[in-house]
Structure 1
């Protein structure tokens, strides 16, 4: 695997590869890699002749500076995992390399519409502008044919899909299924920050989502099902930012139906943290299809 710390060096490498007919798959990450990330590398390896990964903890998408400072960094292990998994190239840039203008300098403003005001957008103001800014920069560098991201960050996937249209990128967005631990907890870099007792209790998020899925379309109304799932999480000592059911239109718009809808994918979505814990966890589960 080739490791690049300078974007211009990676550009030259990719230009040479494209001249030889390579198709590029790109997996952007913030490191602290787990099997969920590696599944994206595997998928890219199956569909593309050249697989590029990036590791960059992007300061402009953290609305909480303490969260940025505590984000887990495991670079040496990450490089070993990527090499073993079959990535061809890794971009590992500094903040100065990605933001020569300075991360505090205002960047372009992206019109993500309502996606930026609901769910994660509501609780993390400015987050998706930071996501758009760094993904735009990375796409300009890599210019991939396919972009691979995980369903666990569902709203982020919808935002990035919208970004591709806004900037006219020809990259095809591939959203891959969430990988889970044996007990159902969604794999996440943030899980590394959980203590043993917190880790055991964290599976309550998945159980709440499963409860909604298993009762959707039954005799109990959708709002009542969601309310019962929220009570389950509260009983498990969680402070809930949101637990809702959404439907996603083809254009990426998010709806909040009061009853099951046909013809659109529906997801139960959740963001919560255990009482006394600074670790905020998110998850989602497809309800139909």
Structure 2
């Protein structure tokens, strides 16, 4: 694996690979890597692509300064995992490399309703930060393929809109959420949980399974209310949302219709750590 910290050094290597007829698969991360991240790399390698991974904790997508300061940094372990997974290139830029004009000189993106729904509502400015960093990374790396995880369902929709709006020449692949044996969605934030909270946090997954299994038996309102009760019983102290939405628009739905694909999405706090997860329901 080759490590680059600057675009000016990375670009010649990418050009060399391009001249050899290689295709680039890119997986953007903020480090604190786990098997969910590694699955993105495996998917790219399985398709025969040269794999590029970025590690950059993007300050512009944190609406809570304390959350940014607490975000886990495990760069040595991350590099070890990337080498073991057969990653070809690691791009490890600084804030100055990504934002040479400073953190105030940001572009503004029209995200429509995605800006105000769910994560957009509870984390104002978050998706503007996501678009700013993703647009810059895609310009620097110019991959033919982009791999991201379904756990960040709404973020995937935002990036898809970014690609479409700017007609970026990259094929987007959403990789299914990788879970621990218990069902808990793998997340870098899980490292901040005590063992007890980690065991109880699987309640989000169980609540989603409950909703999926009872979709035709109860109203969506009752399903959501019961799911909230399950989370509170498991020790979640604050629930931003448990919402059942149209899987393509993320607009909340009030009643089940067979011809409408639904997704349930949850964001909730345990031990002060905010966890998110989702599940397609039908």
Quickly name the TM-score band, shorter chain normalised. Answer: over 0.9
Which segments of structure 1 move beyond 4 Å, counting only runs of 4 or more?
Answer: none
TM-score (norm 2): 0.97
Give, in angstroms, the shift of residue 32 of structure 1.
0.3
Alignment partner of 2:235 out of 233, 237, 240: 237
2: CA distance, partners of 1:157 / 1:282: 14
Can you list the C-alpha shifts for 1:226-248, whole angstroms capped at 9, x where unaligned?
11111111222221100011112
Name the counterpart of 2:267: 271
Name the counterpart of 1:282: 276
1:24 is aligned to 2:21 = no
Structure 1 10/261 Cα, relative in aligned 2: closer, same or farther at 3 Å?
Answer: farther
The range that moved more, 148-157 or 39-48, is: 39-48
2: CA distance, partners of 1:130 / 1:37: 20
1: CA distance, partners of 2:260 / 2:23: 32
Residues 1-289 of structure 1: pairs in structure 2 closer than 5 A: 1-103=1-103, 105-218=104-217, 220-238=218-236, 239-249=238-248, 253-274=249-270, 277-288=271-282
Assess if the C-alpha contact under 8 Å between 2:247 and 2:280 holds in 1: no
TM-score (norm 1): 0.95
Assess if the C-alpha contact under 8 Å between 1:24 and 1:48 holds in 2: no
1: CA distance, partners of 2:113 / 2:168: 21
1: CA distance, partners of 2:38 / 2:10: 21
2: CA distance, partners of 1:33 / 1:213: 29
3-state SS of 2:69 partner: helix
Can you list the C-alpha shifts for 1:142-165, whole angstroms capped at 9, x where unaligned?
111110000000000000000001
Structure 1 170/198 Cα, relative in aligned 2: closer, same or farther at 3 Å?
Answer: same
The range that moved more, 201-210 or 120-129, is: 201-210
Can you list the C-alpha shifts for 1:75-128, whole angstroms capped at 9, x where unaligned?
11111111111111000011111111112x131110010001010000000000
Can you list the C-alpha shifts for 1:242-288, whole angstroms capped at 9, x where unaligned?
00111123xxx2221222233443211100002xx221000001112
2: CA distance, partners of 1:6 / 1:201: 42
3-state SS of 1:256 partner: coil
Can you list the C-alpha shifts for 1:180-231, whole angstroms capped at 9, x where unaligned?
011110000000000111111111111111111111122x111111111111
Assess if the C-alpha contact under 8 Å between 1:36 and 1:187 holds in 2: yes
Where does structure 2 lack aligned partners over 5 or more consecutive residues? none
RMSD: 1.0
The range that moved more, 254-263 or 128-137, is: 254-263
1: CA distance, partners of 2:20 / 2:220: 54
3-state SS of 1:152 partner: coil
Assess if the C-alpha contact under 8 Å between 1:25 and 1:48 holds in 2: no
Can you list the C-alpha shifts for 1:29-61, whole angstroms capped at 9, x where unaligned?
000000000000000111243110000000000
Where does structure 1 lack aligned partners over 5 or more consecutive residues? none
